[in-house]
A and B are shown apart, each in its own frame.
Chain A
Amino acid sequence: MSSVWLTLPLDSAAVQNLRIGEWVNLSGPLYTARDAALQRIHDLLLEGKQPPIDLKGRCIYFVGPTPPAPGESVGSAGPTTSRRMEPFLPLLLDAGVSGVIGKGPLSGHIVAEFQRRGVLYLSAAGGAGAYYGSKIYGAAVAAYEDLGPEAVYSIKVENFPAVVAVDLKGGDLFEEGPKAYRKE
């Protein structure tokens, strides 16, 4: 499959030209976060406090990995459901998050917010934990170690494939993609 090579942190010019349904191959640093950590970060932002990680210009990967094998830094690490993170997303975008990676659709009002702010949503393939785990290097806890699999990890990905799910031109893959195949 043909892919667009993207280096993290995201370059806003490169993001402009992406369209829904295109594969991208990501390389560079990401933060992982999911329910429990995002709740804490959200609560801090709500109180006007600084979260333990600087989110400006950064991408977040919604994932809770399995423990690493000896000598490795991460285990299986496929995406988790993005929709569950919606309550936290408006404040995360306020804090400067430039893109998120997860699985499944986002609600219309969140998609509109992504497009208004020029934030990219990439869908990784849900259930491909072993595959994505092999694309991640140098995982280290960045915050909330007590949360175990839900801690924030600083990771580096290399040749990490994902599909553009929300682009900056108003496209939403989860709305548009099914149309050609819908017969009921």
Chain B
Amino acid sequence: MRSIAASDITVAVAAAIMEMHFQIRPDVKAALQTALEQEGSPLGRQALELLLQNAQMASAGVLPLCQDTGLTILFVDIGQEVAVEGSLEEALQTGVRQATVKSRLRHSVSADPLKRMNTGDNTPAVIHYQVVPGKAFRVQIMAKGGGCENASTQAMLLPSAGEAGVADFVVNSVRLNAATACPPVIIGVGLGGSFDTAPLLAKKALLRTIGESAADPGLSKLEKEILARINRLGIGPQGWGGSITALSVAIEAAPCHIASLPVAVNVDCHSHRVAEVKL
């Protein structure tokens, strides 16, 4: 067995969160710069220039990229030969809490969906655990803004809908919802699985580096087709009109029931705060 101290997990998670709210990811910055070159609308280009200027200002480490520092989502891969000394759950939540205080993140979590009291420290983070073979330990971290999360959708399509049905559903979701989600957006699509896992696949798809295609050639082709269609919608940066509405489309697929074709669309904004910790 390999042993990892809970306190080491807390320190690493807190450090990654504190970094990701101030330093724009290199892949996102490159995608925004490419978008600036390709955008046909003057207003769209001005919006993109403002976002790049914003990223430059945030990099000083005082003001987060976005005031919506989000609901923290953690994907934990833990090797079955790893033993955590202490509470893994508490270690992760403490990391979120510490980063919130040290980096002056906004308190963006309601304790109850109807009573709406603020928890005051951004916990609880949403945590997905997966046991993997070996001695690896990895946490993928996402700070998910409310505006783009609200633009996400899900449907149980008929198997006969096929690729065309999936593409239509995704493009139509973006048409209806992207303007409220801080475009240019990043689109994660979950295909297959069950009613509960399709959205999880969509969220995992958002963890992929921007511009990296699915390993499956069919899915890779579908990603490109959907992205091209989305960028023909005209929504543009901020919804002000333009040729760049999305920076990327990533699809993750899984086996599903013979009667079902679950599809989920998880939208992320251009701030795209995603980080990874390996111990």
- Interface residues of A, Cβ cutoff 8 Å to B: 1, 21, 23, 36, 63-69, 75-78, 80-81, 83-84, 103-105, 123, 125-131, 133-134, 147-150, 161, 163, 173-174, 176-184
Contact = CB atoms under 8 A, between A and B. Distances in A.
Contacts of B116: 36
A30 to B, nearest CB: 15
Nearest to B50: A125
A161 B240 CA distance: 14
A125 B146 CA distance: 16
A106 to B, nearest CB: 10
Interface residues of B, number: 51
Counting from the closest, the 7 A-B pairs by CB-CB distance are A177-B241, A182-B234, A178-B234, A181-B234, A130-B63, A104-B180, A184-B232
A127 B54 contact: yes
Contacts of B210: none
A81 B67 contact: no
Given A75-B63, A75-B67, A128 B54 contact: yes
Contacts of B241: 173, 176-181
Contact of A130 (B47, B64, B236): B64
A81 B180 contact: yes
Contacts of B180: 81, 83, 103-105
Contacts of A129: 54, 58, 63-68
Given A105-B179, A180-B41, 14 more contacts: A69-B104, A81-B150, A104-B179, A123-B238, A125-B51, A128-B50, A128-B54, A131-B53, A149-B106, A177-B43, A177-B241, A178-B236, A179-B241, A184-B171
